[in-house]
Structure 1
Amino acid sequence: VARNPLASPDVIGVTHGAGAATVAALSFNAVAADALPYVSVAGGLAAALLVYVCAWRGGLHSSRFVLVGIGVSVALGSLTQLLLTKGDYLVAQQAKVWLTGSLNSRGYEEAGPLVVVLLVGLPAALWAARAQRGASFDDDTATALGLRLGRVRLGLTVLGVVLASVATGAVGPVDFVALLAPQIARRLTRTAQTPLLSSALAGALIVVVADLLARRLFSPVELPTGVLTAVVGAPYLMWLIVRTRSRSGGISS
């Protein structure tokens, strides 16, 4: 949608919105544990809507979209920390573990809602696999091809936010998976567009390998999965930013 590899859910505030909403629900004991995934979806959608509205100025410019998303992420991160410091100590500890993104003690109970959402969202995902090819073109080309760009972007955004938010609600925000997986899939398949099926498989493989390493590297201490993905993803994010800026400088010069 943003035509920018930096615009992943964990960079532009979607997972931070899901996380802030979930921590708020835990801190105020507002909902039952079974309803937390739905709270995460609501938080992710609200954060995405805020970024979309703030970044829209007669069009959706990719750099503005990412910058606004980063700002929203920082603000939501600060809100989450405020909730942690003001809430109950035991709840805050539970929320902190959740915020690192961990598969510890996760089983079929947490997998159930994910399976339901994936089954319901499968037709939409098949549509997205085709629609994102046209949406990746510039506005004039996509319009000339007869694509209703506004509706397509809205549909892709809602689908992506729902899937990312449901995953966040199940295990917490496992950062950088959404940033790494599409880039790995594109390089393996050598395609210009993002291959959704390959990206999904790459993301699943990253999470499984990170979880295995988190369990085995410092055994008997078991690290959260999000720690391992952040160790790999953070340097990659910095490299990607430098590469994007150097390309922009070359084009502008």
Structure 2
Amino acid sequence: MSVVPGVHDIRVLGLTVRVHRRSLITVLVLLAIAALVLTATVATGAYEITRIRLLHTLLGGGSDMDRFIVLRQRLPRAVAAVLVGAALGLSGAIFQSVSRNPLGSPDVVGFATGSAAGGLVVILLADTSSMPAIATGTVVGGFATAIFVYLLSRGGSRLILTGVAVGAMLSSVNDYLVTRATLDDAETARAWQFGSLNTIAWPQVAPVLLALVVLVPLTLTLAAPMRMLELGDDAAGALGVEVGRSRILLLCAGVALAGVAVATSGPIGFLAMAAPQLARQVARSPGIAMLPSAATGAVLLGAGDLLAGRLLSPFQIPVGLVTAALGGAYLLWILSWRRP
């Protein structure tokens, strides 16, 4: 049992995980909200369905049209929004912890842009839109970008500036790839670049679900070294942390989470940056709140996609446009709130 007030040590599968009580309560509340948002996404839309028909359809009955709309369109989209949001929120928490900077999210430091570049190479140059190929391209692109940025910055305090510069260059490369594509391919690529869950299907949900199942436990085992890294490399090393190894493992987990999220929905801006900060304020936990960040990301993207699908119904707005608008407002609020 931990001697820190409000903090408890819990053993899961032979591993000891330190849990902050308020963080745990926050996660449970946020997961309940995410479930409500998911239910609202499945139950509402241009195609009206009563609660009795909806329940009947979810239990395996219903008409062919009800099953198609609910089980093959709305449900995979709602589940994907929650899972992608969780992956981005956790990825953002990892990068902000490693960089010790609130701007250290995969979209700001260029890793998400690198993932998008890998996906565009697969879509436009390899001329395929299969989910395994796009997922491979985004993960490889994200890792290649992360390695390049890490080597240029030498893993130090210049990580953010180096990532911003590399991301800007990769963004130009992505735009160039789109201009050289055929009209049909360019339209497909551009829609994917906006970040959208409009055409999501179950095969696209599987990679991000698998990534969360594997990487969430891995991240939790690295939570203690991560908290020590926030004290600085010298202090962490003095406390027995293998600084280089821990930082590389955390970066790999963060890049993999961002890569599969981009593969599923396309690049979605600002969410990975905002979710950890909001989670930290709500949970009031010491350091970066990992699970609350994932749960906050799930709620934010789930609610954002619900808004994107209903705002101009029956027209569907890419959720990336909604998160970009809300993220810009969030940044302005942060700047105004911190103004002396």
Q: Output the TM-score relative to the length of structure 2.
A: 0.68
Shift of 1:152: 0.7
The one-letter code sitting in structure 2 at the alignment partner of 1:187 is: Q
Q: 4+ runs of 1 displaced by more than 4 Å?
A: 238-244
1:199 lines up with 2:293 in the alignment? yes
1:19 lines up with 2:116 in the alignment? yes
1:33 lines up with 2:127 in the alignment? no
Q: Structure 2 CA distance, aligned partners of 1:212 and 1:174?
A: 15
**Aligned position for 1:145:** 239
For residues 87-166 of structure 1, what are the structure 2 equivalents within 5 Å?
A: 87-166=181-260
**Aligned position for 1:218:** 312
Q: Structure 1 CA distance, aligned partners of 2:123 and 2:220?
A: 35
Which ranges of structure 2 fall in alignment gaps of 5 or more residues? 1-97
The one-letter code sitting in structure 2 at the alignment partner of 1:11 is: V
CA distances 1:140-180 after superposition (whole Å, capped 9, x unpaired): 21111111111111110111000111111111011111001
1:176 lines up with 2:266 in the alignment? no
**Aligned position for 1:60:** 156
**Aligned position for 2:100:** 3
Q: Do the aligned residues in 2 keep the contact of 1:45 with 1:158 (CA within 8 Å)? A: yes
Q: Structure 2 CA distance, aligned partners of 1:44 and 1:81?
A: 17
Match of 1:49 among 129, 134, 147: 147
Shift of 1:121: 2.2
SS at match of 1:192: coil
Q: Structure 2 CA distance, aligned partners of 1:7 and 1:113?
A: 24
Q: Structure 2 CA distance, aligned partners of 1:50 and 1:235?
A: 31
CA distances 1:48-106 after superposition (whole Å, capped 9, x unpaired): 111111112xx601xx2111111111101000000000111111100111111111121
Q: Structure 2 CA distance, aligned partners of 1:121 and 1:231?
A: 29
RMSD: 1.9
Q: Do the aligned residues in 2 keep the contact of 1:129 with 1:195 (CA within 8 Å)? A: no
Match of 1:81 among 175, 180, 185: 175
**Aligned position for 1:250:** none
Shift of 1:241: 6.7
CA distances 1:186-219 after superposition (whole Å, capped 9, x unpaired): 0001123111110000001110000011111111
Change (3 A) 1:222 1:30: closer
SS at match of 2:222: helix
The one-letter code sitting in structure 2 at the alignment partner of 1:41 is: V
Q: Structure 1 CA distance, aligned partners of 2:334 and 2:162?
A: 18
Larger radius of gyration: 2
Percent identity between matched residues is 37
Shift of 1:119: 2.0
Which ranges of structure 1 fall in alignment gaps of 5 or more residues? 248-253
Q: Do the aligned residues in 1 keep the contact of 2:109 with 2:164 (CA within 8 Å)? A: yes
Q: Do the aligned residues in 1 keep the contact of 2:121 with 2:137 (CA within 8 Å)? A: no
Shift of 1:31: 5.1
